[in-house]
Chain A
Amino acid sequence: QKEVEQNSGPLSVPEGAIASLNCTYSDRVSQSFFWYRQYSGKSPELIMSIYSNGDKEDGRFTAQLNKASQYVSLLIRDSQPSDSATYLCAVKKYYIPTFGRGTSLIVHP
Chain B
Amino acid sequence: DTAVSQTPKYLVTQMGNDKSIKCEQNLGHDTMYWYKQDSKKFLKIMFSYNNKELIINETVPNRFSPKSPDKAHLNLHINSLELGDSAVYFCASSQDGQALGYSYEQYFGPGTRLTVT
Contact = CB atoms under 8 A, between A and B. Distances in A.
Interface of A: 31-32, 34, 38, 42-46, 49, 51, 86, 88, 90, 92-99, 101-102
Interface of B: 31, 33, 40-45, 48, 50, 55-56, 90, 94, 96-98, 100-111
A102 B110 CA distance: 18
A97 B108 contact: no
Interface centre among A31, A38, A90, A97 (most CB of B within 10 A): A97
The 8 closest A-B pairs by CB, nearest first: A92-B103, A95-B96, A32-B103, A43-B108, A99-B43, A46-B105, A49-B105, A44-B108
- Grouping DSSP codes into helix (H, G, I), strand (E, B) and loop, the A interface class, with mixed when no group exceeds half, is strand
20 contacts: A31-B101, A31-B103, A32-B102, A32-B103, A42-B111, A44-B43, A44-B108, A46-B106, A51-B102, A88-B43, A94-B103, A95-B55, A95-B96, A95-B97, A96-B48, A97-B45, A97-B103, A97-B106, A101-B41, A102-B42
